[in-house]
Chains A and B, each alone.
Chain A
Amino acid sequence: MNALPLLSTVIWLPIVAGIVILFTGSDRNAGLARLLALVGSIAGFLVALPLWTGFDATAHGFQFVERAPWIETFNVFYHLGIDGISLLLILLNCLTTVLVVIAGWKVIDTRVAQYMAAFLILSGLMNGVFCALDGLLFYVFFEATLIPMFIVIGVWGGPNRVYAAIKFFLYTLLGSLLALVALIYLYLAAGNSFAFQDWYALPIPFYAQVLVFFALFFAFSVKVPMVPVHTWLPDAHVEAPTGGSVVLAAIMLKLGGYGFLRLSLPIVPDASRELALFIIVLSLIAVVYIGLVALVQADMKKLIAYSSISHMGFVTLGIFLFNAVAAEGAVIQMISHGFVSGALFLCVGVLYDRVHSRQIADYGGVVNRMPVFASFFMLFAMANAGLPGTSGFVGEFLVIMGAAKVSFWYAALAGTTLILGAAYTLWMYKRVVFGAVANAHVAALVDLSAREVLFMTVLALCVLAMGIYPAPFTEVLHVSVNDLLAQAAKSKLP
């Protein structure tokens, strides 16, 4: 196995495939571009599978490590490695890419090659973020993801796409530029080293920890996104094409949560512990307040976007409770949210492709025309509401349990999501799917095609598998999460 650098393959295969697709050029070769994209994304998923089978869940530290000098002047290494947390996110990413390619198969008919290439390149770059063990490498991948997403929203998005794309870009860039300053500080403080391992071992005085914490917080909280820097997300989601929304919700938001886990907690543990209350309050505001905001949305995509923010509040809450149950719950919640929000955006996409409206008021009685679709949509709506037996339940339950260990009130407030989530999701579901056929557009609806059934089924299986038997997912996390928390529990004050 040593012959093939698996992680590099996982990163570079989709990127190379994306570049090859770009060379198919104009829309005359759209069919070829689609085919190449499908082959590339499936190959990307297949090369990620040996990571799963070869992963030793009992081992400490990083696995599949690759290390080569990259920029000697700054002592930067091309240093890759994964633990349980990255493993799950990489698999989620590779799977989502395949689904997005299939979902965009018919819908995208202008500049197909560029669309498909953007998603494949994006997928490779995000794998890079999850694999990087070197600060600069991490930052390069982290920032580079902005470019394809900016293009995707701006070129194939809705009427207000330009505003949304620029807002998305500038918001995230502001956050990450401040993080760059923090990375430079760490580089100099660690004696000219960008290696995560050196940063983990580096003693940092408290005031500096607080500054670094906030610099990183800006970068990751914008990505997650947390209240009050969440306002770009509804805009971006509403305007992005379906594929863009899916990748944004399923993977890109996870970059923020992953950043908190990989950088903030282990590098500045004292500041993280001291400021945990700050994050917890913001997370609870996201869970409760954004849940209420979601309730009143008239646009389905906006509703799911707000629901994403609310669910990501659970992730940040779980991370900053500093106990193993909650942290595992947070990671599980990230994966589950990847499946569920991705699936919900695909559902809305299915409706939008047929009716060209995202307004709840334009629908009603869809079940009469699209029974198969209605059942899939039902499952995903239930998962979003956190029904036991679906993946949504596992993460939320673990986080609430972890919260109860710390404080009753955290748990009580977090628990409101079970009510709010059910309320906004099911109410939307009721208005869209049930009732009498609302208008001529709905009457003309056609049920899912085989292609659509295919990606819905894959997601439904994932949601159910994770809900009914989550052990394989939690198993790979145990050691990684416990090591991480042990690291975060140690004081690094000099």
Chain B
Amino acid sequence: MQSIGFPVPDLAPAAPEIFLLTAACVILMVDLFLKDESRWVSYSLTLATLAGCAYLIGSGSGATVYTFSDMFVRDPMADVLKVFVCIAVAGILIYGRGYVGARGMYRGELFVLALFAALGMMVMISASHLLLLYLGLELLSLSLYSMVALQRDSRPAVEAAMKYFVLGALASGLLLYGMSMIYGATGTMQLGQIASAIAAADNPKVWVLGLGVAFIVAGVGFKLGVVPFHMWVPDVYHGAPTAITIFIGSAPKMAAFALLMRLLVSALEAMVSDWQQMLVLLSVLSLAIGNLTAIVQTNIKRMLAYSTISHMGFVLIGVLAGDLNGYGSAMFYVVAYVLMSLAAFGMVLLLSREGFEADMLDDFKGLNQRSPWYAFVMLLTMFSMAGLPPTIGFYAKLSVLQAVFAAGYAWLAVVAVVLSLIGAFYYLRIVKLMYFDAPQDMTPILPQPDMRLLLSANGLSILVLGILPQPLMALCIASIQYSL
């Protein structure tokens, strides 16, 4: 190989990604030869791929390794987030199976796109170079755009895909613009080198860097969906098929969090006073507008969209604390959020059936009479989102609040608390509809056994992790400590 003059990179740290990519291509080919009634083969292969990928990640050494000329990093934070991405994507596919089956979307494309989206997220999480970050982000985004448009004869879905694509492209543009300024000011695109270039320069080109940071924050803000870059969130959540909404509303938030960590912390930590101020503004606006607007929604997907906006505001609060304590609690918040979001959208999927979306708040009326157990699962999810003990959502909020309090932003903690009280109202309304009102239709709820099992486990995990939050909390905080 010497003769080519090209050093062969160490492939081992990227083994999970390589496996995922290979498997996705294989499934794409296999699916071509399958008849509709044997579609379960590609479905099972997809789940097996995700399981194998999670296994490969989990069996790593847990050390921080750079490869591909320091463009790619595998550290504990990446490992933890990637395992959760695999679990979340697998969960999404299981939740969505009945829904997509009833709507003619139970096809190989969906599985392959889901795997590519997962691959994009994993690349984003592990990137330590601006270009690779961007590549991962685009791989994820393009897969998501196409997944939204998969139901091609549904007008809302196509409209949502269009909106998502246009605004997503704008966000990518902003991000790229910011990256180019960072590159211009520091002369490098490797995150660690950017950090040392800023630290070493005796006269850093502050205004170029500052502008770059502003564009990067705006771009990431779009991807996270925080105010004032949130306009696409409710429309896309609403228009997309629910099985895709659950995808957009869960796993990619973990990747966006990693993006935030890599860009703002690994590369631009020296600029903390710049981005901290921006994040304060974004988080307060997200909490206020997310929570207030959610109150007036009648469609549960829109309501959950606005609730997502406010949750992302909380994540930003953790990040802007600007220390390991804050990053760790923000990561814990994201993971907790994904768990809750999966359960909430899972419930919407559970109630939907052929020709019935179950996406209005009123569709939850009297659920306690139809199925006490699933009403209880939703009750736990809603109280967890509202941040009430003993659920995981409470500890997520607690850890973020203590981090920002310790960082000297006591007023922000008070504002966040007051705004989450407003948020409690619309979560309570769901509980009210389920428990206090009479049901409108008594169609029996008959999910497939795998979905029944997973949704129950998901709901219980919210409670169990609320009673014993230590393992997950310690995992998130330790992985951040060993990575940054």
Complex Cα–Cα for A144 and B421 (A): 15
Number of interface residues of A (CB under 8 A): 36
A-chain residues with CB within 8 Å of residue B394 when the two chains form the complex:
140, 143
Among residues of B, the one whose C-beta sits closest to the C-beta of A114 is B372
Pick the residue among A139, A147, A155 that contacts B383 (CB under 8 A): A147
**Does B389 lie within 8 Å of A181, measured CB to CB?**
no
B-chain residues with CB within 8 Å of residue A147 when the two chains form the complex:
379, 383, 388
Pick the residue among A71, A143, A150, A177 that contacts B469 (CB under 8 A): A71
The number of inter-chain residue pairs (CB within 8 angstroms) is 92
Among residues of B, the one whose C-beta sits closest to the C-beta of A166 is B428
Among residues of A, the one whose C-beta sits closest to the C-beta of B406 is A188
Q: How far is the CB of B366 from chain A (nearest CB, A)?
A: 11
Which of B70-78, B353-361, B409-417 lies on the face that meets chain A? B409-417
A436 close to chain B: CB less than 8 A: no
Contacting residues of chain A (154-187) with chain B, CB-CB under 8 angstroms: 154-155, 161-162, 165-166, 169-170, 173-174, 177-178, 180-181, 184-185, 187
B405 close to chain A: CB less than 8 A: yes
Pick the residue among B420, B435, B477 that contacts A151 (CB under 8 A): B435
A367 close to chain B: CB less than 8 A: no
A408 close to chain B: CB less than 8 A: no
**Does A184 lie within 8 Å of B402, measured CB to CB?**
yes
Complex Cα–Cα for A140 and B432 (A): 22
**Does A154 lie within 8 Å of B470, measured CB to CB?**
no
Known contacts A143-B388, A144-B389, A188 near B436 by CB under 8 Å: no
Contacting residues of chain B (332-387) with chain A, CB-CB under 8 angstroms: 368, 372, 379, 383
Q: How far is the CB of A139 from chain B (nearest CB, A)?
A: 7
B-chain residues with CB within 8 Å of residue A177 when the two chains form the complex:
417-418, 420-421
Among residues of A, the one whose C-beta sits closest to the C-beta of B472 is A73
B206 close to chain A: CB less than 8 A: no
**Does A74 lie within 8 Å of B432, measured CB to CB?**
no
Q: How far is the CB of A256 from chain B (nearest CB, A)?
A: 18
**Does A146 lie within 8 Å of B425, measured CB to CB?**
no
**Does B406 lie within 8 Å of A162, measured CB to CB?**
no
Contact string against A for B residues 389-423, beta-carbon threshold 8 Å, 1 for contact and 0 otherwise: 11000110011011001100010011001101100
**Does A180 lie within 8 Å of B383, measured CB to CB?**
no
Known contacts A72-B470, A114-B372, A173-B424, A185 near B410 by CB under 8 Å: yes
**Does A73 lie within 8 Å of B410, measured CB to CB?**
no
Interface size class of B (residues with CB under 8 A): 35 or more
A278 close to chain B: CB less than 8 A: no
Q: How far is the CB of A79 from chain B (nearest CB, A)?
A: 15
Contacting residues of chain A (165-216) with chain B, CB-CB under 8 angstroms: 165-166, 169-170, 173-174, 177-178, 180-181, 184-185, 187-188
Interface SS of chain A: helix, strand, loop or mixed? Answer: helix
B474 close to chain A: CB less than 8 A: yes
Q: How far is the CB of B62 from chain A (nearest CB, A)?
A: 19
**Does A165 lie within 8 Å of B402, measured CB to CB?**
no
Pick the residue among A25, A70, A161, A184 that contacts B436 (CB under 8 A): A161
Among residues of B, the one whose C-beta sits closest to the C-beta of A76 is B470
B-chain residues with CB within 8 Å of residue A143 when the two chains form the complex:
388-389, 394
**Does A150 lie within 8 Å of B431, measured CB to CB?**
yes
B-chain residues with CB within 8 Å of residue A180 when the two chains form the complex:
398, 401, 417
B92 close to chain A: CB less than 8 A: no
Complex Cα–Cα for A155 and B436 (A): 5
Among residues of B, the one whose C-beta sits closest to the C-beta of A179 is B417
B312 close to chain A: CB less than 8 A: no
Q: A71-B395, A184-B405 are in contact. List 5 more A-B contacts (CB 8 A).
A: A72-B474, A155-B368, A170-B424, A180-B398, A184-B401
Jot down 16 A-B pairs with beta carbons below 8 A, ordered by A: A73-B474, A73-B477, A114-B372, A139-B389, A143-B388, A143-B394, A144-B389, A150-B428, A151-B431, A155-B368, A162-B436, A166-B432, A173-B388, A173-B421, A178-B414, A184-B398
Interface residues of B (CB under 8 A from A): 368, 372, 379, 383, 388-390, 394-395, 398-399, 401-402, 405-406, 410, 413-414, 417-418, 420-421, 424-425, 428, 431-432, 435-436, 468-470, 473-474, 477
